Structure 1
Amino acid sequence: MNSLRLIRRHAVAFGRFAGLGSVLTLAASAALVLLSQWIPWAVANALTTVVSTVVATELHARVSFRHGRPGLAGHLKSAATMTLGWLVTSAAVGALAALRPDAGLVLQQTVYLSATALVGIGRYAVLRLAVFAEGTPRSGTGSDIRLRAAYDAAA
């Protein structure tokens, strides 16, 4: 029974992570399209990655993993995962540009979003196992911990 409870807990956390990540990725994708009209694509990708990483780290720590505020260390570790993600998405879109210079916006976004999905799966594993692992210290007030305990008891 404990195994089923553990599987359910991780499945629910992954569902929250994927839902939040999808919404944030689509918003970042829209921002990327807009920004890339005025500045080089790689710069626009870097800007949207930085902003979306800060927002995502806060939301994933609090909502996906029920960990509380991530603190500076959590943000830095999360940023490291997104640096790799930025390299992967940039390489994917760069390879598309080299192979198909005439690729339209839909194909560019398909490649970008596909690469981002793969990065997201790896990011979940790293954040779940290393950054916001169960049993790691949480930052926050006593009331945050009491709210978490009340939530866990009700679940």
Structure 2
Amino acid sequence: METAQSQQQTAPGAFTAFARFVLCGGGVGVASSFAVAALASWLPWVVANALITVVSTLLATELHARFTFGAGGRATWRQHVQSAGSAAAAYAVTCVAMLVLQQLAAAPGVLLEQVVYLSASALAGVARFAVLRLVVFARNRSQAAATTRPVHATVAPAAASADPGVLCYAA
């Protein structure tokens, strides 16, 4: 039987989890960009992007649950909803950054647009990592640790029992 201590050892540290987060999220992001382009040849781009965004968020959440944060299994519906909320917030951050850029520069160059977009994406990604690690998948680890915590029994002296031959156990 697995103890809480061995489960805590299998949960990755912050640096390892962040590296896995970048690998999983980045991998899904790159695959999504190709998938949107392919699907957009059959559907309007907005529809293709919406479908791929939903599928990629579901896939990334599963990867984060199983691999990135060591949650010990599939993501729950609650985790999917919370993850989708953090993805929507990250999307809003990048949109706001690009809108602000458009207000500040009448005709920003492609390089400036990329710097602003990638900077906003990086900031949103770090914030998303923190939310997923500290909120979305943290409860799962603490609940798992609480349910597998070993119970230590103590033996009361035989004199405390009505029958000296019976041992009393207290948890």
Structure-2-length-normalised TM-score: 0.60
Cα distance in 2 for partners of 1:49, 1:27 equals 11
2:68 aligned with 1:61: no
Residue 143 of structure 2, aligned match among 131, 136, 142: 136
Deviation at 1:96, TM superposition (A): 1.7
2:109 aligned with 1:107: no
Corresponding residue SS for 2:20: helix
Provide structure 2 residue ranges, at least 5 long, that are not aligned to the other structure: 145-171
- Indicate if the aligned counterparts of 2:69 and 2:137 stay in contact, CA closer than 8 A: yes
Counterpart position of 1:20: 24
2:60 aligned with 1:81: no
1:33 and 1:56, CA in 2 relative to 1: closer, same or farther beyond 3 A? same
Higher helix share: 1
Residue 56 of structure 2, aligned match among 27, 38, 52: 52
2:106 aligned with 1:96: no
When structure 1 is superposed on structure 2, of 48-57 and 82-91 the one drifting more is 48-57
- Indicate if the aligned counterparts of 2:36 and 2:45 stay in contact, CA closer than 8 A: no
1:118 and 1:105, CA in 2 relative to 1: closer, same or farther beyond 3 A? same
CA RMSD of aligned residues (A): 3.3
Which deviations, in whole Å up to 9, do the C-alpha atoms of 1:40-64 show, x marking residues without a partner? 7xx8876654343222111111110
Q: Which has the larger radius of gyration?
A: 2
Provide structure 1 residue ranges, at least 5 long, that are not aligned to the other structure: 138-155
Which deviations, in whole Å up to 9, do the C-alpha atoms of 1:101-146 show, x marking residues without a partner? 4234443233222211111111111111111112235xxxxxxxxx
Counterpart position of 1:152: none
Cα distance in 2 for partners of 1:82, 1:20 equals 14
2:132 aligned with 1:127: yes
Which deviations, in whole Å up to 9, do the C-alpha atoms of 1:25-82 show, x marking residues without a partner? 44456667896xx657xx8876654343222111111110122211211100101111
